[in-house]
């Protein structure tokens, strides 16, 4: 494993505001840079009361402006929601502002429910079926543009912002391999096809001008505290939020609760569904988390590991990422 990085969903907690969430994420990013994290990614979600990164490129600019060397990017931009030219201009502008520090991770899901997707796009003609074509169009705009048609992204063309493909299935794994792009798998919420997707990516990989060998970065949930019990307590916020999402009632991130209260609030089926989603989570003391991460990296042969966590208290959140960085440095 070469590097370790952060995926931040900019959690908006119960009793707080989007302004609070954004300030907290800027604070976390500044600390993460000092702790040795390689990149810091933000994800596009819409109509989610507990996630503050809908305007992803705007948040990336704020994070990059508050840090100095760490790479900052999208994990990811949901390309079917946008015209490739618009994303080329946004990320070309980011690259002009923060040269050599910007990543463009692309997903093909809407990042929301279908009604909100319709509101974003006005129609659903531009679907995920066009994703491969749109990826190639976006890459061309960031490279040479379309001079034969008099079209270029300003800023953007000739910026060569590196593109990553993100996925939770085999589709993007194969596409990333065929296009010779780095690939990140969302095993933090969709664990089922992790190993099959990594295998497909590596088997189908074709070297490109940008990347000569496969580069895989799975993402997992990591919560670290001084003891296993405290870490499991902190995790209950994420467990409650995940259950609410599965019920179709997403809300702001709730405070942690006792394990007994969690079992009373969630049905057996809900508890099982949440546990399944968090199958690869590393939760506990530094020693416990180290054991989990070592085993995960060995099994996935990850080139880089991206970690994420939805933790209610900002102090506990900072402490978790600090302790995780110590573990990850030891593993890398």
pLDDT of residue 119: 66
Spatial distance between the Cα atoms of 329 and 318, rounded to a whole number of angstroms: 17
CB atoms within 10 A of CB 273: 15
Q: What pTM did the predictor assign?
A: 0.95
pLDDT at 148: 86
CA distance 144 to 137: 11
Cα–Cα–Cα angle for 207, 111, 269, nearest 5°? 110
Q: Point out which residues pair with 103 in neighbouring strands.
A: 73
Q: Which candidate, 294, 327, 319, 326, places its Cα nearest to that of 234?
A: 319
Smallest Cα–Cα separation from 224: which of 276, 291, 277? 291
Q: How many CB atoms lie within 10 A of CB 113?
A: 14
pLDDT given for residue 216 in this prediction: 98
User: pLDDT tens, position by position, for the chain (332 residues)?
Assistant: 999 999 999 999 999 999 999 999 999 999 999 999 999 999 999 999 999 999 999 999 999 999 999 999 999 999 998 999 999 999 999 999 999 999 999 998 765 666 766 766 656 555 557 899 999 999 999 999 998 888 999 999 999 999 999 999 999 999 999 999 999 999 999 999 999 999 999 999 999 999 999 999 999 999 999 999 999 999 999 999 999 999 999 999 999 999 999 999 999 999 999 999 999 999 999 999 999 999 999 999 999 999 999 999 999 999 999 999 999 999 98
Domains of the chain are 3-221+301-331 (3.20.20.30)
Cα distance between residue 142 and residue 154, in whole Å: 10
User: Of 138, 33, 154, 1, whose CA–CA distance to 77 is shortest?
Assistant: 138
pLDDT of 111 reads 55
Residues 42, 9: Cα–Cα separation, whole Å: 6
**Rounded to an integer, what distance in angstroms lies between the CA atom of residue 305 and that of residue 302?**
6
Strand partners, 93: none
């Amino acid at each position: 494993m070469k590097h370790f990085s952060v995926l931040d969903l900019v959690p908006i907690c119960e009793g707080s505001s989007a302004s609070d969430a954004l300030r907290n994420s800027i604070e976390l990013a500044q600390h993460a840079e000092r702790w040795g994290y390689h990149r810091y990614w933000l994800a596009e979600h819409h109509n989610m009361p507990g996630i503050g990164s809908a305007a992803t490129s705007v948040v990336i600019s704020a994070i990059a402006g508050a840090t100095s060397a760490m790479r900052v990017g999208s994990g990811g931009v949901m390309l079917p929601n946008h015209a490739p030219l618009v994303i080329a201009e946004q990320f070309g502008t980011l690259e002009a502002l923060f040269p050599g520090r910007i990543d463009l991770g692309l997903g093909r899901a809407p990042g929301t429910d279908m009604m909100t997707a319709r509101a974003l796009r006005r129609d659903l003609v531009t679907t995920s079926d066009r994703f491969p074509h749109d990826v190639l169009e976006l890459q061309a705009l960031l490279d040479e543009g379309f001079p034969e048609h008099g079209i270029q992204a300003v800023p953007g063309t000739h910026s060569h912002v590196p593109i990553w493909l993100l996925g939770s299935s085999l589709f993007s794994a194969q596409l990333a391999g065929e296009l010779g792009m780095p690939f990140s798998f969302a095993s933090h919420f969709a664990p089922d096809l992790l190993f099959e997707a990594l295998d497909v990516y590596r088997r189908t990989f074709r070297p490109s001008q940008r990347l000569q060998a496969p580069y895989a970065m799975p993402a997992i949930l990591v919560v670290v505290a001084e003891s296993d019990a405290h870490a499991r307590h902190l995790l209950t916020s994420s467990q409650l939020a995940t259950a609410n999402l599965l019920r179709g009632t997403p809300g702001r991130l709730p405070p942690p609760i006792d394990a007994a209260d969690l079992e009373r609030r969630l049905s057996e089926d809900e508890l099982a569904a949440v546990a399944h989603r968090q199958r690869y989570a590393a939760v506990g003391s530094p020693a416990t988390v180290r054991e989990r991460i070592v085993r995960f990296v060995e099994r996935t042969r990850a080139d880089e590991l991206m970690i994420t966590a939805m933790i209610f208290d900002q102090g506990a959140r900072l402490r978790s990422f600090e302790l995780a960085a110590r573990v990850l440095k030891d593993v890398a």
